């Protein structure tokens, strides 16, 4: 394989730049040429390509976001969009493509591989909702960002003896809520994977209050409800003052943690190795401390396993 492309697609995630750097440098080391495709699949359609060299990925390993930019492209899902993309790929002579993104981006990668373009996916999303990998790039950074924010909120929660509801990202996944909730010692973690009632949440707040707790921190995954609705309901039932904080996009930014940089570097290196050995339609994952290669189709049909043991432990530790 002589010439490959790389793109980032869907939501950005801290560590994507470390993955781009790893792909570009590993590919050049292996004698390949690399083209960066701007704004995900939109750039494939518009022919927005830039030749990458060793220097073009210098000084980016510590930066959040993605130097290639990212986008969502509805046009790419249409036959006309796909045709334009394939023409550009052929004109440039790209034989392989590395796609860094979430499951939507992998659907696009599968479509390309069906049409003869060797594609390798790297899971890049703060949500950590991709099966066959324990972690996706950006998740660890996002969890640490939430933990830092909650540390600050705790100070005022204690001083004012209030119940704080902190809504975190994750789309349909409760992973950011679970991991940050455990790390923060949250009183309650609400996730879409585990059904709950507001009455149960209120009973826990009140029993904590009776035994002298000064505050209550509730971490709510966005997929499990809206912070302001939950806050209003808790106030109505318990009479306690509630404060709601929606952390929002600050969870997507910031300098990636060492863990995310190392994960991204290893996944990027492996993606190039797979393309070099003629593989296609695969995702590079990280399971139990080792790189794992899985068919992209399998990723889309499987469900991410929720860590029930960790959730139950969190409940025990917050009684
Ligand atoms: P993520 O990759 O973070 O899950 P999206 O679901 O928004 O993000 O998908 C990113 C992009 O992947 C879409 O804008 C589209 O260009 C492409 N994509 C998604 N689904 C398909 C599909 N079925 N066929 C082709 N391309 C797709």
For the chain, helix, strand, coil in percent to 5 are: 50, 20, 35
Alpha carbons 36 and 203: distance in angstroms, whole number:
54
Domains assigned to the chain? 3-137+256-301 (3.40.50.450), 139-252 (3.40.50.460)
Q: Which of the residues 48, 53, 127, 134 is marked catalytic? A: 127
C-alpha 204 – ligand 1 centre gap (Å): 40
C-alpha 74 – ligand 1 centre gap (Å): 8
User: From the centroid of its chain, how far is CA 270?
Assistant: 19
What residue's CA is closest to ligand 1, atom 8? 10
Q: Where are the beta strands (DSSP E) in the chain?
A: 3-8, 33-37, 49-52, 96-101, 118-123, 163-168, 188-190, 216-221, 242-246, 282-287, 290-295
Q: pLDDT digits over 223-237, tens only?
A: 999 999 999 999 999
Q: What is the pLDDT of residue 156?
A: 85
Q: pLDDT digits over 53-64, tens only?
A: 999 999 999 999
ipTM for the predicted complex comes to 0.96
Q: What is the pLDDT of residue 126?
A: 98
- What three-state secondary structure class fits 43? helix
Whether 295 sits among the annotated catalytic residues: the reply is no
Q: What is the pLDDT of residue 7?
A: 98
């Amino acid at each position: 394989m002589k010439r490959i492309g790389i793109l980032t697609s869907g939501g950005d995630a801290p560590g994507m730049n470390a993955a781009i750097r790893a792909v570009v440098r590993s590919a050049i080391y292996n004698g390949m040429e690399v083209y960066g495709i701007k704004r995900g699949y939109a750039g494939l359609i518009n022919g927005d390509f830039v030749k990458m060299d060793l220097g073009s990925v210098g000084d980016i390993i510590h930066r959040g976001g993605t130097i290639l930019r990212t986008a969502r492209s509805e046009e790419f899902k249409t036959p006309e969009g796909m045709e334009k993309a394939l023409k550009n790929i052929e004109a440039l002579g790209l034989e392989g493509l590395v796609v860094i993104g979430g499951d939507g981006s992998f659907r696009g990668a599968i479509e390309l591989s069906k049409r003869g373009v060797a594609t390798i996916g790297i899971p890049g999303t703060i949500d950590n909702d991709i099966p066959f990998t324990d972690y996706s790039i950006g998740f660890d950074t996002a969890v640490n960002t939430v933990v830092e924010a909650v540390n600050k909120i705790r100070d005022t929660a204690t001083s004012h003896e209030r119940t704080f509801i902190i809504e975190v990202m994750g789309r349909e996944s409760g992973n950011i809520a679970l991991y940050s909730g455990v790390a923060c010692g949250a009183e309650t973690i609400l996730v879409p994977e585990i059904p709950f009632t507001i009455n149960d949440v209120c009973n826990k707040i009140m029993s904590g209050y009776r035994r002298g707790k000064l505050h209550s921190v509730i971490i709510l995954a966005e997929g499990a409800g809206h912070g302001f609705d939950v806050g209003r309901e808790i106030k109505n039932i318990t009479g306690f003052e509630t404060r709601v904080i929606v952390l929002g996009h600050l969870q997507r930014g910031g300098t990636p943690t060492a863990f995310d940089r190392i994960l991204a570097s290893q996944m990027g290196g492996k993606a190039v190795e797979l393309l070099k050995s003629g593989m296609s339609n695969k995702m590079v994952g990280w399971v139990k401390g080792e790189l794992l290669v899985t068919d992209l189709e399998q990723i889309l049909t499987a469900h991410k396993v929720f860590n029930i043991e960790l959730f139950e432990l969190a409940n025990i530790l917050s009684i």
